[in-house]
Amino acid sequence: MPGMTLLALSIFISSRDEMPSALRRAEQAVAAGARLIEWRVDSLAEQPENVAIITKLVADSPAPCIVTCRSTSEGGMYEGDDADRLELYTAMAQAEHPPRYLDVELAAFKRSSRWRAAMGKAVESGRTGLILSSHDFDRRPSDLLQRIEQMTTAPECSVIKVAWRARSVRDNLEAFDLLLNRRKPTIAICMGPFGLMSRAIAPKFGGLLTFTTDSTDNATAPGQTTISQLRDIFRFDVIDRDTKTYGVIGWPVAQSRSPMIHNAGFSAVNHNGVFLPLPVPPEYEHFKATVGELIDHPHLDFRGAAVTIPHKENLLRFVRERGGEVDALADRIGAANTLVVGDAGELSCTNTDCPAAIEALANAMRIDRSSLRDTTVTVLGAGGAARAVVVGLTDAGANVRVVNRDMNKAERLMKELGVREAAGSTSDVIINCTPVGMAGGPDPDGLPLQLADGEAIELDYSMTVFDTVYTPQRTPLIAEAESRGARVVTGVDMFQRQAAMQFELWTGAPAPLDVLAAAAE
């Protein structure tokens, strides 16, 4: 049943002066979908006289709440005496309006019989519950399973919470296994840039709750996601155990709009799927290990991926090694951008960049595909996107020139694709297939016009300039081309077209083009 995993807004409050604004934030969060409030009182609890303030904060909370006073030893800010912290928790448990849960680190609970006795008494009263928690902000703790067993067997423990910094996307799969094998209500979170999956699809595996924030500036842990992102982008409210998982694989990938458009599309056609950003470092070994484990996990239901820079050639190699089907176009290009995983785990890949690029270019030039014949096109770059564009242009009869900062790579691409380079130095069309100008990329403010020999491509009003980068829509290259009076083609048009083709491969349903376009914008 979807919706059983709760959204818990975590609010850090450091002084009594912040109480009014903190309560307003809590009220707004409840209106936005939060069902629990975690009051982080680390700093407030430094002064024992603030117990009354915290008691009132809990009483006025607009939703059931968790009180957490996190010690510095596990990433919090409380530096006071442990005895004072225990007095605070005892007072909370005995208050007229107790919190729904008190959060205590497993380490503190284990080392003090006073903690165990006091928390046992609090839980036995039936007025509050105990979250035993364990955090590692650097890595997965080597004794993670032992810690979970200690929490599981502690009679005082109502809820198990483990959080660690993920080393890769694969760490999320262990978090899901912990949820599936739980013997008590459990929260399992991977922190940091690799950990979004553990937060976004916790409902699929029965997590008790996901901690969230109302603004990335207010996050209380690395990688915490906002309520609006979880609900409006990642479909948190409708995820259940049958939800199929998809993602965009790249490095970097945070800038991708694919999650926005595909999740919007899934909603529009009632497809039970969720689409996530999946950052995977550039090396093939990382790609192979990560994608292999995603596919092989028996309960993730991983059904496909959009694959972007720098992994398009890696995808082709991976599918071949796994005995999957590489379609003729992707085979010819030598790169693929779409992975499809069938119901029985069978793999196939294709390249939707190629037809999408040609359609976008012809549409912007107000011509049909056949009219590209004898057009001279300079392609910037020699990676997977360039390979797709060169094949599409060649099939359309265009004269193609490839330039790259490493010209040996450009020459190798032309040779591998069997393309004869266009003569002369003038071009009707310039197409950027490098990540230069991409938000979050290696050179977001740069222009991809510098050649290997130190010369630069000159733009003029007679040209059509096409940037396959779509984030931002108006890249430095597009801005420069517009200033010269050139016709421009942004990457958004190509992106929407190739995404629509991917959508249909994954869902079997016609892509809701208006929905995808609105989400892409």
- What amino acid positions are annotated as catalytic residues? 135, 161, 312, 353
The 273-279 sheet, strands edge to edge: 273-279, 244-250, 302-307, 338-341, 347-350, 325-326
Neighbours of 298 (CB within 10 A): 7
Instruction: Decide: 156 and 130 in contact? Cβ < 8 Å.
Output: yes
Instruction: Determine the Cα–Cα distance for residues 39 and 24; give it in Å rounded to an integer.
Output: 13
**Torsion angle of C-alpha atoms 374, 375, 380, 384, degrees rounded to 10:** -60
Rounded to the nearest 10 degrees, the angle between the axes of helix 491-507 and helix 513-520 is 130
Rounded to the nearest 10 degrees, the angle between the axes of helix 51-59 and helix 19-32 is 30
Instruction: Decide: 400 and 421 in contact? Cβ < 8 Å.
Output: yes
3-class SS letters over 338-406: EEEECCCCCEEEECCHHHHHHHHHHHHHCCCHHHHCCCEEEEECCCHHHHHHHHHHHHCCCEEEEECCC
Residue bearing tokens 């910037």? 380
Is 293 exposed, middle or buried, given 0-12, 13-18 or 19+ CB atoms closer than 10 A? Answer: middle
Residue bearing tokens 């080597």? 142
List all residues 6 or more positions away from 291 whose beta carbon is below 8 Å from its beta carbon: 249, 280, 305, 318, 339
Beta bridge partners of residue 276, listed in sequence order: 247
Instruction: Determine the Cα–Cα distance for residues 174 and 171; give it in Å rounded to an integer.
Output: 5
Q: How far apart are the first and last CA of the chain?
A: 33
Instruction: Determine the Cα–Cα distance for residues 11 and 9; give it in Å rounded to an integer.
Output: 6
